Structure 1
Amino acid sequence: HGRQAHRQGAGQRARAARIRRRGDAGVSVASALFRAPEPLDPASHAALRIAPLRDFGIAARLHAVFVAATEIPEAAPEDPIGFVPSGGHGAAGAPVVSPVALLGLVPGENLFVQGGRWQARYVPAFVRRYPFVSGRRGPMIDMAWSGLSPIDGEPLFDEAGRPTPTLAAALDFLARFDAEALRTRGFTARLAALELLQPLQADATLPDGTTLTVEGFRVVDEDRLRALPDAEVLELHRSGMLMLVHLHRASLARMRHLVELKALREHERRTGEPHGPTG
C-alpha cells in the first residue's frame, strides 16, 4: 500500500529536487509524510476516530512539498517555489514537472516546523489533507498517525457504515486537492512547451562557513520569458499563468529567508536558546 501512495505522480512526489552539502552526494526528495497508508474501509475502520490535525510534527522531515497552481499566490510570499520533474513526458515530449515549495535546506528538515507547530502563515494543502491520500483504488488513510484512535476524536463512520460529516469534509478536501493537482499539470505543461524552464543551482553559506547547494529545481528563465512573442505573453496573461510565473520568480528571493532560518536553528542546537521565526 505504501508503494501505491508513492506512485500518485505530481501530487505526491518531488523526486528530482536535491539538496546537498558541498562535496556530498545529492539526496532525492520523496514524501516522508505517509508511513503506513491503507485503503479506507468502513468495515476495517468502523471504530476509528480522528483528532484535528494540530501537531505538524508529522511534516518535520519534509523539506519540499508539492503545491498546486492555485496555492502559489499564498505560498510564494513565504516559500521559494520551483519546479521538479515528476516522471514521464507530456504530449509534446517535454518532461512532466510539478511545482514545489522549498521548506528546508537539508534533506529531512522542515525549517517551518518547531515543537509540532507550523511557524508560517500558510500550510500547503499537501500537508493539510493528512492523514488521507488518494490511492489507485480510492482514498487511503495513514494508520501510523497518532491522531487516530478508537477512543478520542470524531468517528469516521456512523453505525450504518456511512461517512460522518467529519470524514465527508476530509474526503471532499482530498478530492479538491487531487482536482487542483490535475489542473496544475496544464500550467506546468504550458511552461515546458514554451521552453521557459531552466535548471537552478543555488549556493548558500551559513554563518559558520558551511556551504549548502540547492540543485535539481527548475525555474522560469527571465530572458526566455521576455523573448516570447506578444501573442504568447497575452495568452499567458489572460489565462492567469503569467501572474503565477511572476509570483514564482519573486518567491526565489525567499531563499535568503531559509538561510536565516537555518542559521537560527543551528544556533538553537548549539546553545539550547530558542529563537522565534523570522519574517
Structure 2
Amino acid sequence: MSFPVRWVPSRWRGAHVPAYLRAHPFYLAERDPDRHVVAVDESAEELGADAYTGEALFDETDEPTPALQRVIDFLGALARSRVQTDRACQALEEAGVLVEWPLSLNLGKEKPQRLGGLYRVNEPRLNALDAADLQRLRDAGALGIAYAQLLSADQRRRLEALAKARSREQKLPEADAVFGEPDLEQQIDWDQLDFGDEGESS
C-alpha cells in the first residue's frame, strides 16, 4: 500500500481546509479510551488503482516509513488538539454561555435546510461574566474559541452562496463546471485558419 500526500482542492471551496479533511484518507480509530490505531478509508479515490501513486507505508521490517510516520504524527497532534477543544467547550458549558443554535440554511434546494444539534456562544452572557469566570475560560483555552465562533457566525452567508454555486455547477456539463466556458475547440473552423505555406522552409 502507498500513501498519497495531496489534497483535491476542487472539492473544497473554503480558504482553510480543516485538519480532519487534510488527514483523509487516514484517521484515528479508538479501540479503547487509552488506545487508538491508524485506520484508512479504503474506498477513497486517492487509493484508486488507476490514479494511485505514492509512497510505501511500511518498510521491509514492517516498521512505519517516514511517510506513514508523518501521518501518525499529524493524527496524534489532531487528537491532542481535539482533547484541548473538548476541554475548552466543557469550560464554556460550565460558564453557562453556550446556547442551542437552531440554524436554517438556504443551500439551493426547494426548502431551507434545518440543522440540529448545534450550539453557539451567547455574547451577552459572555460579556456579563466576572473576572474570575473569564480567567477560568482563558486558562482552559476557551476564550479564543468563543470569540472565533462569534466572528465566524456570519460565514453562514458565504456557505449559502458556495452551496448555490455548487448546485448550479452540477447542472452544467463536466467541462463547463470546471472551466466555466463551453469547449472552444468545437467552435473553431480549422479550414479557415492560415498556417502559412506548408512547403515554406524557415
**What is the TM-score when the length of structure 1 is the normalising length?**
0.53
The 5-angstrom pairing of residues 17-166 of structure 1 reads 48-55=1-8, 114=10, 117-135=11-29, 136=31, 138-148=37-47, 152-166=53-67
From the two aligned structures, give the one with the greater strand fraction.
1
Q: Distance in 2 between matches of 1:141 and 1:218?
A: 30
Farther off after superposition, 221-230 or 154-163: 221-230
State the SS of the aligned residue for 2:124: helix
Q: Distance in 1 between matches of 2:81 and 2:145?
A: 15
Per the TM alignment, residue 172 of structure 1 is displaced from its structure 2 partner at its CA by 0.8
Q: Distance in 1 between matches of 2:64 and 2:172?
A: 49
Q: Distance in 2 between matches of 1:149 and 1:206?
A: 31
Question: Structure 1: which 5+ residue stretches go unaligned?
Answer: 1-47, 57-113
**Greater radius of gyration (CA):** 2
Q: 1:29-49, CA deviations, whole angstroms, 9 ceiling, x for partnerless residues?
A: xxxxxxxxxxxxxxxxxxx12
Q: Distance in 2 between matches of 1:222 and 1:176?
A: 30
Q: Distance in 2 between matches of 1:205 and 1:130?
A: 28
Q: 1:164-220, CA deviations, whole angstroms, 9 ceiling, x for partnerless residues?
A: 111111111111111111121210110111121111123344788743323321101
Q: Distance in 2 between matches of 1:196 and 1:169?
A: 38
**What is the TM-score when the length of structure 2 is the normalising length?**
0.71
Which of 154, 169, 192 in structure 2 is aligned with 1:253?
154
Alpha-carbon contact 1:133-1:140 (below 8 Å) kept: yes
Residue 223 to residue 216, structure 1, CA distance change in 2 (3 Å): same
Is it true that 1:200 corresponds to 2:101 in the alignment?
yes
Question: In angstroms, what is the RMSD of aligned CA positions?
Answer: 2.8
Q: Distance in 1 between matches of 2:5 and 2:109?
A: 40
Alpha-carbon contact 2:2-2:55 (below 8 Å) kept: yes
Alpha-carbon contact 1:198-1:219 (below 8 Å) kept: yes
Alpha-carbon contact 2:28-2:38 (below 8 Å) kept: yes
The 5-angstrom pairing of residues 200-219 of structure 1 reads 200-205=101-106, 210-219=111-120
Residue 147 to residue 207, structure 1, CA distance change in 2 (3 Å): closer
State the SS of the aligned residue for 1:140: strand
Per the TM alignment, residue 122 of structure 1 is displaced from its structure 2 partner at its CA by 1.3
Q: Distance in 1 between matches of 2:109 and 2:79?
A: 42
| Sequence identity (%) | 26
The 5-angstrom pairing of residues 215-254 of structure 1 reads 215-237=116-138, 240-254=141-155
Aligned to 2:72: 171
Structure with higher RCO (Cα < 8 A, 6+ apart): 1
